[in-house]
Amino acid sequence: EAGVTQFPSHSVIEKGQTVTLRCDPISGHDNLYWYRRVMGKEIKFLLHFVKESKQDESGMPNNRFLAERTGGTYSTLKVQPAELEDSGVYFCASGIAGAYEQYFGPGTRLTVT
């Protein structure tokens, strides 16, 4: 069974540009989460999808971040326009409805210069 995949693995963009990160959860997982880890700090929750619906987006930093999960399968996280403080590793995780475990992808390392 394939795990959670994320694309790209690494992205370097200039301040003001737009970047879109993609997450493909494990097939059949209704729950999908986005997290971010800024260098050396804790992993912070961004938002949670149940199927295509946003269950909790309280962790989204500001309106420059837009997450979608059309059709309840893969999800995208767009940052527009990117700022220097957006640099970090963005993790996606998925889980079965009602279960506590989350299965994490390898992350996308975003560098904004």
Partner 1 sequence: AQSVAQPEDQVNVAEGNPLTVKCTYSVSGNPYLFWYVQYPNRGLQFLLKYITGDNLVKGSYGFEAEFNKSQTSFHLKKPSALVSDSALYFCAVRDIGAGGFKTIFGAGTRLFVKA
Interface residues toward partner 1, by CB under 8 A: 3-4, 31, 33, 35, 40-45, 48, 55-56, 58-59, 91, 93, 100-107
Number of Cβ atoms within 10 Å of the Cβ of 44: 14
Tokens of residue 36, six digits: 């971010």
| Beta carbon of residue 81, minimum distance to partner 1 (angstroms, whole number) | 27
Q: Which is nearer to partner 1, 81 or 104 (CB)?
A: 104
Q: Which is nearer to partner 1, 27 or 100 (CB)?
A: 100
| Beta carbon of residue 101, minimum distance to partner 1 (angstroms, whole number) | 5
Rounded (5°) CA angle 71-38-43: 60
Q: Which is nearer to partner 1, 17 or 109 (CB)?
A: 109
| Beta carbon of residue 3, minimum distance to partner 1 (angstroms, whole number) | 7
27: left (phi over 0), alpha (psi -120 to 50) or beta: beta
